[in-house]
A = this chain, B = another copy of it.
Amino acid sequence: MPDSVGVRQAQAQRTRGAVLAAAAAVFVDQGVQAPIRDIAERAGVGVGTIYRNFPTRADLVTAVYRHQIDTCTALASQLLEESASPFTALTRWADAFVDFLVTKHGLGAALGSGDPGLENLHTLMLDTLVPACATLLEACAAADELGPGITAYALMRAIGNLCITGPDYDQADAKHMVATLLAGCRRTA
Contact = CB atoms under 8 A, between A and B. Distances in A.
Contact of A176 (B149, B161, B165, B166): B149
A162 interface: yes
A118 to B, nearest CB: 10
Interface stretch (A65-73, A80-88, A131-139, A180-188): A180-188
Interface stretch (A14-22, A92-100, A167-175): A167-175
Given A112-B112, A153-B169, A164 B162 contact: no
A112 B109 contact: yes
A65 to B, nearest CB: 17
A184 B91 CA distance: 13
Contacts of A157: 166, 168-169, 173
Interface residues of A, number: 32
Contacts of A169: 153-154, 157
A101 to B, nearest CB: 12
Interface string A91-124: 0000000000000000001001010000000000
Contact of A177 (B166, B168, B181, B188): B181
